[in-house]
Structures are given as C-alpha cells and as structure tokens.
C-alpha cells in the first residue's frame, strides 16, 4: 500500500502544478459562447496548457497505480489535496502569499490526509457486473448531455455549475479506473483486449474529455475559486460514496470514524484553499510569461 500512497501523493503534486498552468492558459483565451469543443483546440496552442495537460496525464497514471492498492475514498481524498500544492506553488512562483486562513486550511488538509492514510485498508480486486460497468458509461454520457445546457450559463453561476459537473466527470474517471481489470506484464496482450471490450474503458474516455472541456470553460466564466471548489466536492464525495456502496471500499477495522473525519477535513480544507487559487491575484505576473 506504500506504493499506492506515493502514487496518490504524486498525482496530487502533478495536478496542483497543472491547475496553475491551465488556469493561466484558459484566462488568456477569448471566452467561449456556450460549450465550445474548439476551446480545447485553441488551448492546445499554449505551452502552459500542454504542459499542464501532460502533468494531468502523468497524474492520472499515478492515480491508477494508487487505485490498485487503496480504496477509492482514500485516493480521492489525497488527490483533492492538489489545491494545497497549488497554494504552495502559487506562493513560490506567482507571488500569491499565503494568508492566515490559507495556512490553517493547509494544516487541516495535512491532518486530514494523515488520518485518511492511517485508516485506509489495503484494497482488493472487486467483481463488478457487466450491467454496472455499462451503468458507468451511461453516467458518463449523461454528464456529456447535461453539459450542453449548462454551457449557456454565464458568470459565477456558470463557473460553479460547470466546475461541479467537471468534478463529477473526474469522479467518473476514478470510478471507471477503479473497476478496470488489472494489467500484468505476463498477460499484457490479452489484458489489453479485455480493456477494449470493457464499457468502463469508454466511460473513462468520455468522462475525461467532458471534464477537461467543462473545467476549462468554467475557468473562463468565473474565478478559480468558483470553478474549483465544486469540482473538488464532485470528484471526491460522489466517488467515495460509490466506492463504499458499490465497490466494497472499507477502512481498517475499527478506524471508520478516523476515515470519516479525515476525509471531511481533507476535502473541507481543500475547498477552503480554492479561494487562494483565484488567478486574478496573479494577473500582474502574466505579462512576464510567454503566451503560447
């Protein structure tokens, strides 16, 4: 399980760095009218966004490693601490000093993560029916359909709504990754074939694209706070519930209260830290960065 912990923490670090890069890139693009998939193509011309996307991809691989040995609630709580990483990196590189509230929130996140890590039991492979796997794909497609009318919302409401659905999309990615069959080097080719036949594979792909587009659009509609706070809730709370109810994720025996309190502290502290990430505080530095 040590490997899983390191994978989840590494994913949080990569997501934290990526969030700053992607927010800077999204704010430099013209605001999209409605939900415009071409936004991703325009952002692809920015080196900041591409670097952030690469970090996101590496973070995803690390989270897959974590999900092989740790329950979903633990991995998602640790990954949500990426906002703590964002706050620290922002203070170092973007001259966004940490306030007293930020420092308290950082301490809360760290304390919550310690509790979650101590309470997590080693995970085991779970048997999920084909109907449940198709259900994950249906959920991902439903999020894509819901995104269209929400894309017309403007301002703070649009940022919050799109950020929340983006969080559900990232949560669907985590759930899909959790139920995918584990790949072994000795059975690589047969395992890849099984992945291509698994509805969860396509659910993961659909949810990932929807989540990236919605979050990028949300960053244009409002502040990073307004877009990211609901994202954190959506990508942590809902997958945690699914993991407990459907996938049999449980903490160590006798450590349930520690897991619940630690999860609440980690997520609550991360949401509080979303206020630190408002890119408006870093506008003075954007002229010093090359535009892609």
pLDDT in tens, 108-166: 988 888 888 888 776 666 677 888 889 999 999 999 999 889 888 888 788 889 989 99
Retrieve residue 22's tokens: 């992607």
Q: Does 206 or 128 have the greater pLDDT score?
A: 206
Number of separate domains in the chain: 1
The per-residue pLDDT for 171 is 92
pLDDT cut 90: percent of the chain above it: 14
Q: Give yes or no for residue 283 having a pLDDT over 50.
A: no
Per the prediction, the chain carries an average pLDDT of 80
* CA distances for 279 relative to 1, 164, 219, 220, angstroms: 36, 19, 9, 11
φ, ψ of residue 251 in degrees (nearest 5): -75, 175
Q: Give yes or no for residue 169 having a pLDDT over 90.
A: yes
Distance, CA of 236 to CA of 162 (rounded, Å): 16
The per-residue pLDDT for 33 is 64
Query: Is the distance from CB of 70 to CB of 126 less than 8 angstroms?
Result: no
What are the contacts of 98-103 at 24+ separation with CB within 8 A?
98/276, 99/276, 101/272, 101/275, 102/273, 102/275, 102/276
Sign, CA torsion 275/279/282/283: negative
Q: Give yes or no for residue 197 having a pLDDT over 50.
A: yes
Retrieve residue 110's tokens: 């760290």
Q: Give yes or no for residue 277 having a pLDDT over 70.
A: no
Q: Does 75 or 94 have the greater pLDDT score?
A: 75
Q: Which domain holds residue 56?
A: 2-288
Question: Rg of the Cα trace of the chain?
Answer: 18
Geometric angle at alpha carbon 199, from 194 and 200, rounded to 5°: 90
Q: What b/e sequence results for 42-61 when a residue is b if at least 16 CB atoms lie within 10 Å of its CB, and e otherwise?
A: bbeebebbbbbbebbebbbe
Q: Give yes or no for residue 167 having a pLDDT over 60.
A: yes
Query: Is the distance from CB of 134 to CB of 198 less than 8 angstroms?
Result: no
The per-residue pLDDT for 282 is 45
The per-residue pLDDT for 138 is 95
């Amino acid at each position: 399980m040590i490997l899983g912990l390191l994978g989840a923490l590494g994913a949080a670090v990569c997501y934290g760095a990526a969030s700053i890069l992607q927010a800077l890139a999204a704010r430099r693009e013209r605001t999209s009218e409605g939900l415009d998939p071409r936004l991703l193509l325009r952002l692809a011309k920015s080196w900041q966004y591409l670097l952030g996307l690469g970090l996101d991809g590496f973070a995803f691989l690390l989270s897959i490693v974590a999900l092989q040995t740790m329950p979903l609630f633990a991995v998602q709580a640790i990954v949500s601490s990426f906002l703590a990483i964002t706050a620290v990196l922002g203070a170092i590189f973007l001259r966004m000093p940490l306030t007293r509230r930020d420092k308290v929130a950082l301490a809360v996140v760290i304390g919550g993560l310690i509790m979650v890590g101590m309470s997590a039991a080693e995970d085991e492979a779970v048997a999920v029916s084909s109907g449940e796997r198709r259900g994950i794909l249906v959920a991902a497609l439903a999020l894509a359909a819901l995104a269209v009318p929400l894309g017309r919302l403007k301002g703070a409401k649009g940022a919050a709504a799109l950020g929340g659905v983006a969080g559900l999309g990232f949560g669907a990615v985590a759930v899909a990754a959790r139920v995918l069959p584990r790949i072994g080097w000795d059975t690589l080719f047969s395992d890849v074939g099984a992945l291509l036949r698994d509805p969860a594979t396509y659910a993961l792909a659909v949810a990932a694209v929807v989540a990236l587009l919605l979050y990028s659009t949300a960053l244009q509609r409002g502040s990073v706070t307004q877009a990211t706070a609901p994202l954190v809730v959506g990508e942590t709370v809902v997958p945690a519930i699914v993991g407990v109810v459907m996938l049999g994720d449980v903490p160590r025996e006798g450590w349930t209260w520690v897991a619940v309190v630690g999860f609440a502290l980690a997520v609550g502290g991360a949401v509080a830290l979303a206020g630190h990430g408002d890119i408006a505080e870093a506008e003075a530095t954007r002229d010093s960065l090359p535009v892609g």
